[in-house]
Structure 1
Amino acid sequence: MANYIQEIRQLVGHRPLILNTAAGVLLNENNELLLQERSGNDDWCFPGGFMEFGETRVETCKREFKEDSGLEVEPIQLLAVFDDDIYTYSNGDQTQLITNLFLVKQVGGKLLDHPTAETSQLKYFALDNLPHFFNQQSSKMAATVIKYVNYKN
């Protein structure tokens, strides 16, 4: 996908892009939330990422969650769609991310125990003690998870 976005950026430069993403919410038995510390900036986010051409949002969630965490997941419920945030990267690229946030269950895999190109570390957090998030959209996603858990209980 990075090559796809790089190709588009070569054509349009820093002009704003609308990009589709999917992310997963994995809660453990204590309703702690699995989050990913992003490599390179020490901020946290939900495992997930950009949709590849021809992929469904469910396929994107499963693929990106596996890449970011090492875990195989199955989306079981769409919690929300976020589409009102614009993010400007340090190089000036602007994006409006349309993110599908899924509640997921683990069906396989093993949690990464080493850093990768995209993940510094993974950690479960109590919902009342969440870390600094990568962007405003991730903060809104966390608020949605908290509302979901409070409603469910």
Structure 2
Amino acid sequence: MSNRWLEWAKRIQALSQSGLTFSKDVYDIERYEELRKISVEIMAEYTELEMNKVRDLFANETGYQTPKVDVRGVVFKNNQILMVKENIDDKWALPGGFCDIGLSPSENIVKEIKEESGFDVIPIRLIALLDKNKHPHPPEPFHYYKIFILCEIIGGKPTVGIETNNVQFFSEENLPQLSTNRNTESQIKTLFEFLMNPGKETIFD
């Protein structure tokens, strides 16, 4: 099914939020509020989210809308990749999550890997910066960029965190059921290319 409706709803939301941020005219503000209401109705109509949940998501957004940033750690050991099992859907993902304010991408991923897997790592290099819209993830109300950082284990041991219930390494030929909101099979297979070819150039989009 085409997701054009999702793109339209997100564009309407972004325009309305920008208008609410910069407009001073009371009538324009009313029009932008109405546009945001329309975007919420579209989201609620075509997704499984309840309208009040969509409204809360959008109402909490202020300022000029920009893509959100998700950072994921790429850790190899014995030709296998580190993954954690997410409590939220009981499926597997690279350790990571939204970037926290005040931390750089590399600082974020060191924190996320420790919290979700128990391992201490050092960041080695940025290997991919991807636009989530250009990959086969399930539809979502917001626009995301995904940062993949290659890391090396320097200590720690496998330990589940608050958001995870298992920690394992997987070969490319034996991947588990993936949490596709967080990572897709095609992305994981692309990451293995960096294991086979350490000189591979960073990819983007």
Task: Settle same-fold status: TM greater than 0.5.
Answer: yes
* Residue-by-residue CA offset, 1:66-85 (whole Å, 9 max, x unaligned): 11111111110111011133
**Bigger Rg, structure 1 or 2:** 2
The question of 1:124 aligning with 2:169 is answered yes
Say which structure is richer in helix. 2
CA distance in 1 between counterparts of 2:104 and 2:144 reads 16
Q: Structure 2: which 5+ residue stretches go unaligned?
A: 1-55, 200-205
* Residue-by-residue CA offset, 1:26-67 (whole Å, 9 max, x unaligned): 111x21111011013121100011111121111111111111
Counterpart pick for 2:85 among 10, 21, 37: 37
Choose between structure 1 and 2 for higher RCO, CA contacts under 8 A separated by at least 6 residues: 1
Following superposition of structure 1 onto structure 2, how do residues 78-97 of structure 1 map, counting pairs within 5 Å? 78-85=126-133, 87-88=138-139, 94-97=141-144
Aligned length, in residue pairs: 138
Q: CA 1:37/1:137 → structure 2, altered by over 3 Å: closer, same or farther?
A: closer
Amino acid at match of 1:108: G
Say which structure is richer in strand. 1
Shift of 1:151: 2.7
CA distance in 1 between counterparts of 2:67 and 2:138 reads 10
- Residue 202 of structure 2 corresponds to none
Q: Structure 1: which 5+ residue stretches go unaligned?
A: 1-6
Identity among equivalent positions (%) equals 26
CA distance in 2 between counterparts of 1:68 and 1:17 reads 27
- Residue 29 of structure 2 corresponds to none
Counterpart pick for 2:149 among 75, 83, 102: 102
Shift of 1:11: 2.0
- Residue 76 of structure 1 corresponds to 124
